[in-house]
Amino acid sequence: MFTGIVNGIAIIVLIEKKKKHYSYTIKIPSILSKNLKLGDSISHNGCCLTVKLIDNSYDSSYITCDVIEETLKSTNLGTLNIGDSINIERSVKYGDEIGGHIISGHIMSTAKISKMFKSDNNCIIWLKMRNTFLMKYVFYKGFICIDGISLTVGDIIGNEFCVNIIPHTFLSTTIKNKTNGSLMNIEIDFYTQTIVDTTERLINKGIRYI
């Protein structure tokens, strides 16, 4: 589990492309790999991956994770190249502060940035959901996770929605590098999905018995 509070930015230094999966090696500051063990979970742009290899040096660590074919298709990880930056979050531990909201790290779809408005390190981003079915779970002032960042929905028009980015988030994540057309990983809020799906089942059940 994660909280959507990005711990830092990592740089992709190696991509090994195999038939059914890719192996990504990222470079992160050593402080972010403290007590990290093989088999631990770490979020890459909001996608939960398992640590396969760890190589620690004086000031940096190199972490390798595998990404299977299905994940490459349903996230933006398959579009990344060596030298690209990604948002990193270590998994939450018992007793940690939940600064954002509970996130599973299971990306449900991607959304494309349709408009960006930047001003003094503030930013408003409009995104168009690839899977329009998921828009029924997007609510005004509701939680949503974008590239591993816990954000609040600011407005909704059709199959597009916007989020407001504060200066700290803008400067400490990869948001500052994004442009119109950039593809972002989307995880909708689990509790919102549960409420919507449960309500729909109850309504449909009631209609059948009328």
Q: Delimit the domains of the chain by residue range.
A: 8-90, 109-196
Pick out the chain residues at pLDDT < 50: 209-210
| CATH number attached to the domain at 109-196 | 2.40.30.20
Torsion of CA 198, 200, 201, 203, to 10 degrees: 120
Confidence at residue 88, expressed as pLDDT on a 0 to 100 scale? 96
Question: What is the predicted pLDDT for the residue at 210?
Answer: 47
**One-character DSSP codes across 48-102:** EEEEEEEEE-SSEEEEEEEEEHHHHHHSSGGG--TT-EEEEEEPP-TT---SS--
The arrangement of secondary structure in 8-90, i.e. its CATH architecture, is Beta Barrel (2.40)
What's the pLDDT at 204? 84
Quick one: pLDDT at residue 206? 72
In tens, the pLDDT along 105-125 reads 999 999 999 999 988 878 999
What are the tens digits of pLDDT across the range 129-164?
999 999 999 999 999 999 999 999 999 999 899 999
Q: What pLDDT does 95 receive?
A: 74
Q: Which candidate, 53, 3, 55, 59, places its Cα nearest to that of 29?
A: 59
The candidate with the shortest Cα–Cα distance to 56, out of 33, 35, 76, 72, is 33
Q: How many CB atoms lie within 10 A of CB 51?
A: 17
pTM for this predicted structure: 0.91
Domains 8-90 and 109-196 share a fold: yes
